[in-house]
Structure 1
């Protein structure tokens, strides 16, 4: 059962009480400014014995039925409200006509050594959610099920986005509930901790966006925080190509930098089983957080939506509700 938590003003009050430092005050002001322009509801439910919450924004051009749904997952130490402010998905929902959801990880878990907000994305990632074995897959499936319950969402067009820890979590959800996910478009991390012989029940189109100068989650293979084996962007894309049954090597397109925009490459694997596709967007000299960087053109939200919106589940998404439940 869910509980509506009011409009975004409730989140502003929460930030005010929990974040008295300057950043908290800045976020409070920004939330107050944006609340009147972008109606955002807060919803909560019990999941795994913990109260879990998420934000919902119905795009101004979203239809009253058969609306696409994008579930966006924040990075480690971030929050749903922070992601809403900076990732560009709210404006994209308004202009393209879909429903956007920003889900919240867990933090301040009892007896956990790490107090920061995180997702249990597997492979030792990340923080208290990993320490305590939080079932974030179950929570996110429940968020999708709740979103489907009023009949407004098109079950064939449920997509995932996210940043860093959230990008890794989106990929975990995609391999564990592929029948539910029509596509993933996320930024700055990989599929973690899965067995080498992993297979998935059906293909899931995937785009991962990554900067070559990312010092938090390196573009190359690395060991993050001394314990998380991180495969690197090229290897991650190749693995997804294998999972999705893509044939042949990637086709690489290069776009040169200009005086106002960073250059980038697109590694594209296609054709794949079931009409899927895998893309790696490599931003040359891009950092860990390209959202809001006016030299990253297109923006990550533009890239991700342009990719995932091309795909839908066959049969009108008839199996999505069962997968989400």
Structure 2
């Protein structure tokens, strides 16, 4: 009996150590999720056929909002699944982003929210933070309402929620969502981000790991920035996140493919590493897309969904002191 007690104590200590560092293995592990609605939701039947995507509606901020929900093929095997939130670019939709991003091939519940029609030319959906976004729309609150819905109805791991996006959606992730909701977003992966100034300081409640993708030949959101629109140079913006995360000031570049250079900042607080993936001559596109994702050159040297997943899947938010629900 004493031997068994010592083994049990060691196992508990190991779980606590993993939770404290924020690192994890690739597979979702049920023991790391807090006890709450998401755990009881694991006993609920799947709301749709595993392996499928369906358009769903939720009320947030007095509006009916929509999102495309994709369940992995083997969702029926009850375990706490990670969640990937994917925010579309201006004028696109969640369903459109699903088509080119290949995110629905990941071992995760993938959610593609839809923005609200903004201002400017045509009926184009957009996200908070951009100058053309609809006035009075709180997309951070919408995202949190959406996470509440997912955690109440699906078997998901509340500590393994990741956010990515393209263009305007990526800008929303990098300038607002990760800054205001770091307690719920474990790590982010902006792609070709439109990083418009929001007028507020980004002060996340914890270091947020970041992997960012951008083409050096992007004519829509220039890699070197655009002072007239208040857009920063991309590498400077990523270095700013490294500063937020307390990383060592010196970065290291590594050429990993004929048109791919990866910059890494290490020594970051709580292991919150920052990486920048530059695509030489790349356009306003999603790396690895085999259908239209934007103007300019699309590299096939890497698949963005695979590269970001290898990075994102290792991070968790800290365990809450009590259930959110």
RMSD: 2.4
Establish whether residue 165 from structure 1 lines up as the match of residue 173 from structure 2. Answer: no
Q: CA 1:52/1:85 → structure 2, altered by over 3 Å: closer, same or farther?
A: same
**Match 1:156 to one of 155, 159, 178:** 159
Corresponding residue for residue 311 of structure 2: 307
Contact kept, 8 Å, 1:70 with 1:100, in 2: the verdict is yes
Structure 2 stretches of 5 or more lacking a match?
1-46, 291-297
SS in 2 for 1:42: strand
- Which residue does 1:235 correspond to in 2? 236
Q: How far apart, in 2, do the equivalents of 1:202 and 1:61 lie? A: 33
CA contact (8 A) 1:190 1:232 kept: no
Residue 67 (str. 1) matches residue 81 (str. 2): yes
Q: Alignment partner of 1:230: what SS?
A: coil
1:142 aligned to which of 112, 120, 145: 145
Give matches, 1:25-174, under 5 Å.
Answer: 38-62=51-75, 63-92=77-106, 97-107=107-117, 112-114=119-121, 115-120=123-128, 122=129, 125-129=130-134, 132-150=135-153, 152-171=155-174, 172-174=176-178
Contact 1:265/1:282, CA 8 A, preserved across alignment: yes
Superposed, which structure 2 residues align to 1:195-210 within 5 Å? 198-210=202-214
Q: What is the SS of the residue equivalent to 1:127?
A: coil
Closer, same or farther in 2 for the Cα pair 1:65/1:151, shift >3 Å?
A: farther
- Structure 1 window deviating more from structure 2 (293-302 vs 281-290): it is 293-302
Correspondence 1:205-224 to 2 at 5 A: 205-223=209-227
Alpha-carbon separation, structure 2, partners of 1:113 and 1:91:
34
Deviations 1:197-246 (Å, cap 9, x if unpaired)? 543210110111000100011111214xx5x3111211111110111111
Mark the CA change 1:181 to 1:128 in structure 2 (over 3 Å): closer, same or farther: closer
- 1:295 and 1:211 map into 2 onto residues whose CA distance is 9
Question: Displacement, 1:270?
Answer: 1.0
| SS of corresponding position for 2:145 | helix
Question: For the structure 1 residues 256 and 42, does the alpha-carbon distance in structure 2 shift closer, same or farther, using more than 3 Å as the test?
Answer: closer
Range that drifts further, 248-257 or 236-245: 248-257
Q: Deviations over 1:79-136 (max 9, x none)?
A: 11111111110122xxxx21000000011x6xx445311001x2xx14242xx13111
8 Å Cα contact 1:65-1:151 kept in structure 2: no
- Match of 1:54, SS state, is strand
* SS of residue paired to 1:314: coil
Over 3 Å counting, the alpha-carbon distance change for 1:42 and 1:198 in structure 2 is: closer
Structure possessing the higher radius of gyration over alpha carbons: 2
- 8 Å CA contact 1:186–1:304 kept in 2: the answer is no
Alignment length (residue pairs): 268
Q: 1:126 to 1:321 in 2, by over 3 A?
A: farther
Q: Which SS does the other structure have where 2:235 is aligned?
A: helix
Distance in 2, Cα, partners of 1:50 & 1:210: 33
**Structure 2 equivalent of residue 269 of structure 1:** 265
Unmatched 5+ stretches in structure 1: 1-5, 8-35, 258-262
Q: Are 2:275 and 1:279 equivalent residues in the alignment?
A: yes
- Greater relative contact order: 1 or 2 (C-alpha under 8 angstroms, separation 6 or more)? 2
TM-score (norm 1): 0.76
Structure 2: distance between partners of 1:194 and 1:319: 31
Instruction: State the distance in 1 between where 2:93 and 2:273 align.
Output: 30
8 Å contact kept, 2:167–2:191 = yes
Give the Cα–Cα distance (whole angstroms) in 2 for the partners of residues 278 and 84 of structure 1: 25
